Structures are given as C-alpha cells and as structure tokens.
Structure 1
Amino acid sequence: MKLRVLIFLTAFSVAITVSSVNFYFQHRWYDVTITFFVSFSISFIVFYYLIEKYVYSKIKLIYKLIHNLKLGRDLRDALGEQHIISADPINDVEQEVKEWARQKKSEIDELRKQEKFRREFLTNISHEFKTPLFAIQGYIEAIQDDEFEDLDMAAQFLEKAAKNVDRLSYLIKDLDEISKLESGEIPINYTRFKINDLIKEVLDSLEMKAKQHDIKFIYKQKYDENVMVNADRDKIHQVIINLVDNSLKYGKTGGSTSVSLFNLHDQVLIEITDDGIGIEEKYLPRLFERFFRTEQSRSRQVGGSGLGLAIVKHIIEAHQQTINVRSTAGLGSTFGFTLQKAKQSPFPAIPGIK
C-alpha cells in the first residue's frame, strides 16, 4: 500500500471519529461537516509531516543503502539517483529485503559447498602426495639400512623409488595444467582437422596397452567418412587419450572399448564406451572433480593422478562444448563430448590433390 493512501485512510478514520463525537453531542449536520473537513485536513497534514520526517525519510535511507550495496558503486552512479528512489519505498524495501535475504542464503549455501569442496580437495591432495613420498622415503631408508650390501635389492628399491618420483612429477604437471586451463593461460589453437584420423591415431598408440588388459577396440570402418571439426587438435588428442585410457583401467578382461561418432546439426558427438565395472549413479555428479575417486577405483593398482577427467572437462569447456557421462554399475560407462563441425571450404576440391 502506498504511503499517501495509508495517510489518507488514517486521516479519514480520525475525521470520521471526531465527526461522530460531534454529531452525538450537537446533532447538527452543518457542524459535523465542518468538523469532518477540518479534522481530516489537520490529521492528514500532521500525519504526513510526522511520517515523512520520522519514518519515510528513514525508510528511503535504508532502501537507498540496500539498493546501492546490491548495485555497486559504478552501476549506481551510471543509473543516477532518480532510478534509486521509488515512489513506494515501503513496498520496495520489503521486496528488496526479501530478495536480498534469498540472495544471501544462496551465497551462504554456495560458500558452504565450496568450503566442503576445499576440505575434501586438501584431504585428497594430501593423500595423493603422501603416498608416493612415503614410498620413496621407505625405499631410501631401506637402502641406507642395508648399506648397499645387497646391490640387486638396492637397484630394485631405487627403481621403485624412481617410479614414485615419476608419479609425483605427473601429479604436479597435471595440477599445473588444470591451473593454467582455469586461468586461461593455455590458449585454444583452433585448426580444421579430420576427427576420424585423430581417433585412429589414439587407438593405434594404445593398442599394446589394450592387449595387456585383454580389451578389444571397436571402431567401425564406416567412420572413414570425411568428418571435419574445428578444435585444438593437440588438446582433443589429450581428451581422447584420457578417456580411452580410462576405459582400459576400469574395463573388464576380455571386454571391449568402442568409439562412436554421431553427426549432429552443427556439432559432432564423440562417445567412448566400455563394458567394465561402471559407476554408481550417486557418484556421477562429482565424477569430473579433481582427485575424486569412486569406491571401485580406490585401488592403488589403477594409478593415475586422479586429475584426468578434470583436465578433460576443462579442455572441452574451454572449447565451449559439453561433456557428459552415462553409466551403470557392473555394465559399463559411456563418456560423450561434442565438438564444433568445421565449415566447408569455399574452394572446390581439385581432382588428384588431397
């Protein structure tokens, strides 16, 4: 309700009351009418002055303060004072406070989530660093205690320590890469290339590892058609390597990993599917978080830094594309991501020249 309407109704009520009392004692309509208009005018002026001075001005000040804090100094100055003061500040203050309360509650909830994520991240990164460091420390202490009397054992321990040093190096390298991807320090160098050739290149490079896991690659010949995309070839190579390697780690012996291409309107969908251990539905929303591991993947034999999927997500999002996962525990998983199709060259192909 607007302020002037509220004052009008209050003054009207006072005038009715005073006029009723006057009529009760004098019973003269002329006096009652005069009393009504006089009392209404005086009441309206008095109430308006009092409310304007002691209530309305304070409410305007509170409203301006809240509004300025929400807008910020630069935007407030750009809008000007005329856009800040409203004709009905009481109602506006109510709406502003409610909206501000909802906003602050949302911010507090988000800060709590971030705090939880920070604690988990510190716990995970501490665990990832401590495991190889303690292993290296143990091997070195064992060699020192043996005083190099058993050279074969010393060589074996040094080899194992070196593997853990490599693991630390990979971990630091992956952390540095994620940091640079998040800050935009690593640019996306778009080029036009055939995605089919890149997929075959990745599968050929992982063929030996697939044989070690007794997993077969499926990539049908029909995908030899000319599918051109516009993306950073090296980074997409890393994405496909990580996803295919992931399917080998969590695939089943005697199983398969298939790569599929789907032509969309102006995009290409690439899917990597395995028939391995799969992922429980409750873990899917957090699968691309740094260092997140499901209960099935806690084994140290799996290896890796725990950052592979986080890097994949950052690379795809840096291309302004999407990545998703579908999975059923015990049946397997499918990771899919999109890439922008390359525009057809405006120049016709010359026969005999590729």
Structure 2
Amino acid sequence: MLTTSRGISLVLALAISTLTVLFLLLLDDATPTLLVVAGSISFSVSYILMNVTLEFLIFNEISNIYGVLEKIQKKDYTSIPDKSDKLSISPLRKINKTINSYAQAKNKEIEALQKNAEFRKEFIADISHELKTPIFAAQGYVHTLLDGAVEDKSVRLKFLKRAAKSLNALDKLVQDMLTLNQMESGVVKFHFESFDLKEVIHEVIEELEHKASKRDMLIRFYYDKEKTYRTFADKEKIFRVCQNLISNSIKYNNDGGEIDVSLKIHKNQITVEVKDNGKGIPPEDLKRIFERFYRVDKSRNREKGGTGLGLAIVKHILEGHKSKISVSSTLGKGSIFSFELPLEKEEAVVSSNKLIK
C-alpha cells in the first residue's frame, strides 16, 4: 500500500488531519463539530494535494524513467517517446530528459549503423559483380590462348584485342571508383576558372556525334547566338558532367532517337538541360539512379557498357559547385536531366530569348 501514491497520500493525510485535530483540542472553545469539520477538511485537502504531487511529479516520472531504462536494457530504442519538449515542474524531468536524449541518440546511431551495414553489403555485392565481368572475360581469352590458340595468328590477335578491351573496362571502373572515393573524401580539388559553357558543350557534342550517328540519332543544341554563357567553375569537371549526361542519352535512347541539349539563362543562373525521347525511367528508380552501381535494367545496361558510377560522379561534381542534378522522366517518352551553374555577373544582362539550332 505504501508503495503507491494513493497509499502514501492517505497515510500523510491522516497524520496531518490528526495533528490538526490535536492542535484544536488545545483550544478551550473547540467543539466536537469544529473538530470533525477541521479534521475532514484537512484530511481531504492534504490527500488531494499529496496525491497530485506524488502521482504527477514523482511517481509518473519514475515510471517513465523505468520504462525507458527497460527498453534500453532490451536494446529496443524504436518505441521510446520523445518528451523533451513537454513542460513540467517535476524535479525528475531533467533526469527523464537526459535519459530520453541518450535513448534517442542511441536509436539514431543504431539506425545509421544498420544503414551502413546494408550499404556495405550492397556495395561489396555490386563491386564483386562489376569486377568479375571484365576479369573473367580477360581470363577466358588469355587461357584460351595459353591452351593452344596462340598458334593461330588471326585468333591470337582477335582474342588479345578482346582481352585488352576487358582490361580497359576494368581500368576505367577502378579509375571511376578512385575518383568517386576522392570526391566523397574531399581529396579532389576543384580548379575554378571563367569559361563559356556553350563552347564546352559544343566540344562534347563534337566528340559524341560519331557515336550518335552509328545509331542514326540526332543531337540538337539550342542556345541564343547573341549571348555568351560564361560561368565560373571547374571546366574539366563540367565537361565530364555534360559528357556523361549526353553519352547516357545516346546510350539509353532508341535507335533513330533525338537528343536536345539547351542552354537557358534565368536571372543569374545558367540552366543546362539534356532531353531524350527514349524509354524513360520508372518512378521507383528515379530516386536511386545517382547511387553507386545502381542500374535501372542491369542486363540491358551491362550490354551497353559503362561502370554504373557516371551519375554518382556527376552528382558529386555538381555538389562541389553547390549545385545539384535534377531529373524527370516519363515511361515511353524519355527523360530530362538538368543542372544550374552561376552566370558571371557581367554577363547577367537582359537579352532576347530567341533560340537557334
């Protein structure tokens, strides 16, 4: 009984009412009615005050603390309530807040560890799969040559070329991994300079036109001929961004498809947009295409080549420019990738919006 707030309140209320009655008995004019009324009132008031104080300021907080401690002991951090913002005059509230804060921090730490563990598992599986493809291919060609095919000059040359191609793919994969890792760790330094973004995109298109023509694709470049699109950025890395986006549009477009590259100026920003009319990207994949090795269609993508790291590198390059890559896509209609770079202040002038091919 004495372990509950009601039991303790009852005992204390009886003690207070008894002391009150005994005190009144010392008075000469104390009547029995007065003693009963005074005893009843002192008992009732004392009981209510004691019960409220003990229940809400002490026992309730102690119960919450025990509940949190039990969950911590069971390593169950998911259902711990966050009451840190709740106002209370209880002296135990500070202890409860401290324990709750610890539990919440522990919960976040465990969630982060679980995500990292899952990421490591996926990464190891992905990198193992990516590495074994060119390695097994090169091994196959080399072992075939060692088993006697080396004597046939035509077979030897063909197999050596294929082995070299596989090893080149392996080298590109390793280089992309190193680049991405260096960007994420901040090792890669950006060398900012002033340049015309229009000229960079022209260079990329000239480099990729032959690749597009093989599949009867048309690349169109829209910009205002009266403008210069000068920006202050890392020219080499922005070249790689544009190269990757346009190359992907060629790689994953339909034969005979169209690719539209455009430059637009809005206020003090230059927007680069790469649009294709290919198969598009499913909505469930849009949020993940910038992850390492993530492929929308793994079998189709491997046939078309690539390391699966291009868009991840694009994302990190643009983050280094305090920008971001945006994508929208409709199945059966194509995709649009876009990003922004700052327009040099002296070039931020009002001009016509007339576009040319």
The TM-score range, normalised by the shorter chain, is 0.7 to 0.9
Q: Aligned to 1:260, what secondary structure does the other structure show?
A: strand
Between 139-148 and 276-285, report the one with greater CA deviation. Answer: 139-148
Task: Name the CA shift for 1:270/1:13 in 2 (closer, same or farther; >3 Å).
Answer: farther
Given that residues 21 and 35 in structure 2 are in contact (C-alpha distance below 8 angstroms), is that contact kept between their aligned partners in structure 1?
no
For 1:271 and 1:327, the matched residues in 2 are separated by: 13
Aligned to 1:106: 108
Q: CA deviation at 1:155?
A: 1.1
For 2:92 and 2:257, the matched residues in 1 are separated by: 69
Given that residues 274 and 332 in structure 1 are in contact (C-alpha distance below 8 angstroms), is that contact kept between their aligned partners in structure 2?
yes
What one-letter code is carried by the residue in structure 1 that aligns with 2:12? V
Task: Name the CA shift for 1:89/1:188 in 2 (closer, same or farther; >3 Å).
Answer: farther
Structure 2 residue aligned with 1:19, among 17, 20, 26? Answer: 17
What one-letter code is carried by the residue in structure 1 that aligns with 2:248? N
Aligned to 1:228: 230
For 2:122 and 2:292, the matched residues in 1 are separated by: 10
What CA RMSD, in Å, does the superposition of the two structures yield over aligned residues? 3.8
For 2:339 and 2:168, the matched residues in 1 are separated by: 30
Structure 2 unaligned regions, length at least 5: 26-30, 69-87, 349-357
Deviations 1:218-241 (A, max 9, x none): 112525512221111111001000
For 1:307 and 1:215, the matched residues in 2 are separated by: 24
Structure 1 unaligned regions, length at least 5: 1-6, 63-85, 347-354
Equivalent positions of 1:1-354 (< 5 A) are 14-15=12-13, 18-19=16-17, 23=21, 27=32, 29=34, 88-146=90-148, 148-222=150-224, 225-295=227-297, 298-344=300-346
Q: Aligned to 1:148, what secondary structure does the other structure show?
A: helix
Deviations 1:69-93 (A, max 9, x none): xxxxxxxxxxxxxxxxx98541233
Task: Name the CA shift for 1:224/1:136 in 2 (closer, same or farther; >3 Å).
Answer: farther
Task: Name the CA shift for 1:224/1:307 in 2 (closer, same or farther; >3 Å).
Answer: farther
Task: Name the CA shift for 1:296/1:330 in 2 (closer, same or farther; >3 Å).
Answer: farther
What one-letter code is carried by the residue in structure 1 that aligns with 2:203? E
For 1:345 and 1:251, the matched residues in 2 are separated by: 35
Q: CA deviation at 1:194?
A: 1.4
TM-score w.r.t. structure 2 length?
0.74
Q: Percent identity?
A: 36
What one-letter code is carried by the residue in structure 2 that aligns with 1:261? L
Q: Aligned to 2:194, what secondary structure does the other structure show?
A: strand
For 2:226 and 2:111, the matched residues in 1 are separated by: 49
Higher helix fraction (1 or 2): 1
Q: CA deviation at 1:14?
A: 2.1
Matched residue pairs, number?
305
Q: Aligned to 2:303, what secondary structure does the other structure show?
A: coil
TM-score w.r.t. structure 1 length?
0.74
Q: Aligned to 1:294, what secondary structure does the other structure show?
A: coil
Q: Aligned to 2:121, what secondary structure does the other structure show?
A: helix
Given that residues 229 and 342 in structure 1 are in contact (C-alpha distance below 8 angstroms), is that contact kept between their aligned partners in structure 2?
yes
Q: CA deviation at 1:20?
A: 5.9
For 1:89 and 1:122, the matched residues in 2 are separated by: 51
What one-letter code is carried by the residue in structure 1 that aligns with 2:125? T
Q: CA deviation at 1:207?
A: 1.2
Q: CA deviation at 1:263?
A: 1.9
Q: Aligned to 1:305, what secondary structure does the other structure show?
A: coil
Q: Aligned to 1:325, what secondary structure does the other structure show?
A: strand
Given that residues 149 and 155 in structure 2 are in contact (C-alpha distance below 8 angstroms), is that contact kept between their aligned partners in structure 1?
no
Aligned to 1:79: none
For 2:178 and 2:200, the matched residues in 1 are separated by: 25
Deviations 1:38-75 (A, max 9, x none): xx8xxx9xx99xx99xx99xx9xx9xxxxxxxxxxxxx
Q: CA deviation at 1:117?
A: 1.8
